[in-house]
């Protein structure tokens, strides 16, 4: 194989690989933002639980 052909093949493979990564990242972006929203929601819930502000509070009658 000629040297120029090897360079062209390598460039082609590099471009193809970068294109595949870009497409994959674009498709995963909504999932990442959903994951971030879930983490934030869980953190807020944990913070509320730790501070004592929850919907379910026990009332003791005495």
**Over the stretch 42-59, which tens digit does the pLDDT of each residue have?**
999 988 888 776 555 555
Query: What is the model's pTM?
Result: 0.39
Q: 1: pLDDT confidence band, cut at 50, 70 and 90?
A: low
Q: How far apart are CA 50 and CA 12, in angstroms?
A: 55
The arithmetic mean of pLDDT across residues 2-8, rounded, is 77
Please write the tens of the pLDDT for every residue from 6-45: 778 899 999 999 998 888 888 877 777 888 888 888 999 9
What pLDDT is attached to residue 7? 76
């Amino acid at each position: 194989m000629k040297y120029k052909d090897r360079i062209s093949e390598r460039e082609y493979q590099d471009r193809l690989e970068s294109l595949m990564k870009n497409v994959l990242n674009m498709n995963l972006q909504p999932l990442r933002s959903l994951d971030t929203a879930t983490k934030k929601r869980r953190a807020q819930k944990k913070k509320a639980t730790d501070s004592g502000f929850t919907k379910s509070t026990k009332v003791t009658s005495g």
